[in-house]
Amino acid sequence: MTEPLVVVEGLRKTYQKGPKEVAALKDVSFEAFPGELIAIRGRSGSGKTTLLNLVGGLDRPDAGQVTIAGRSVTGMAESGLVELRRDVVGFVFQTFGLVPVLSAAENVGVPLRLAKAAAQEREERIRVLLTLVGLADHVNQRPYELSGGQQQRVAIARALANRPRVLIADEPTGQLDSQTARQIMELIRALVRSEGVTAVVATHDLGLIALADRVLELRDGLLEEAAS
């Protein structure tokens, strides 16, 4: 049996919202195997973003554990989390999150610079990645000179820059028209296969859900296996 790459056990996260407590996650567990594309669905406010942030080490739970490739994310000091987010996990967000003053190539180069990749290796990796996402002819354009779908392609290339084991995407097609959304979903599906990455994707998008290997549903702070 293959070992799971991501192990999530008993996650709990409660937010203080003024005088009242909101239990975003009550007791959430799941495992993701190498090369799997997992869709997390659930209505708005069901805790999808909270869960992804905990899996990727962007936030800490009140209780429970996250392990990636045998390393305890929840047990890591801040310096370990910085490394984890740079080398092990790639993030894609609904709003793309590109640096507006940087070109497509420079945006993809940011994580490579953080990882202190040599200039030549960086250039080569940027070229490969932008070709992989279909933007070989747009390397010098800035985000405002690109369509939403193209911006998301740059963000996906950036997320894959340091060859992460895990790709975390939070409603990656949420701001795109349905045709563009479809192209982005298919790109994510293809990249999970070609790059051998494990992807955890929060989405409402039925098209993306249909492409997943497994669908999990968040409801009232609990996660259940859903029919896909």
Tokens representing 67? 């392990």
Answer with the entry of ligand ADP, Mg ion, none that 47 interacts with (C-beta below 5 to 8 A by kind): ligand ADP
Task: Give residues in contact with ligand ADP (CB under 6 A).
Answer: 15, 17, 22, 24, 42, 44-50
Binding mask 134-173 for Mg ion (x = CB under 5 A): ----------------------------------------
Let me know: does 173 contact 203? Beta carbons within 8 Å: yes
Asked if 203 touches Mg ion (CB under 5 A), the answer is no
Dihedral pair phi/psi, residue 157, rounded to 5°? -60, -45
Answer with the entry of ligand ADP, Mg ion, none that 221 interacts with (C-beta below 5 to 8 A by kind): none
Q: How far apart (Å, rounded) are the C-alpha atoms in residues 94 and 117?
A: 28
C-alpha R_g of the chain? 17
Answer with the entry of ligand ADP, Mg ion, none that 46 interacts with (C-beta below 5 to 8 A by kind): ligand ADP
- Helix 119-132 × helix 104-114 angle, to 10°: 130
Q: Which is nearer to Mg ion, 49 or 152 (CB)?
A: 49
Nearest residue relative to Mg ion (C-beta): 49
How many DSSP H helices and E strands does the chain contain?
7, 10
Answer with the entry of ligand ADP, Mg ion, none that 125 interacts with (C-beta below 5 to 8 A by kind): none
Q: How far apart (Å, rounded) are the C-alpha atoms in residues 84 and 89?
A: 6
Q: Which is nearer to Mg ion, 56 or 109 (CB)?
A: 56
Asked if 49 touches Mg ion (CB under 5 A), the answer is yes
Q: How far apart (Å, rounded) are the C-alpha atoms in residues 61 and 188?
A: 28
Q: Which is nearer to Mg ion, 49 or 103 (CB)?
A: 49
CA distance readout (Å), 71 to 1, 8, 89, 116, 167: 19, 12, 12, 23, 16
CA distance readout (Å), 143 to 98, 103, 107, 136, 147: 7, 7, 9, 15, 8
Of the candidate spans 49-57, 115-123, 152-160, 215-223, the one that interacts with Mg ion by CB under 5 A turns out to be: 49-57
Answer with the entry of Mg ion, ligand ADP, none that 42 interacts with (C-beta below 5 to 8 A by kind): ligand ADP
Q: Which is nearer to ligand ADP, 171 or 195 (CB)?
A: 171
Q: Which is nearer to ligand ADP, 161 or 168 (CB)?
A: 168
Q: Which is nearer to ligand ADP, 44 or 179 (CB)?
A: 44
Q: How far apart (Å, rounded) are the C-alpha atoms in residues 195 and 189?
A: 10
Interface residues with Mg ion (CB under 5 A) are 48-49
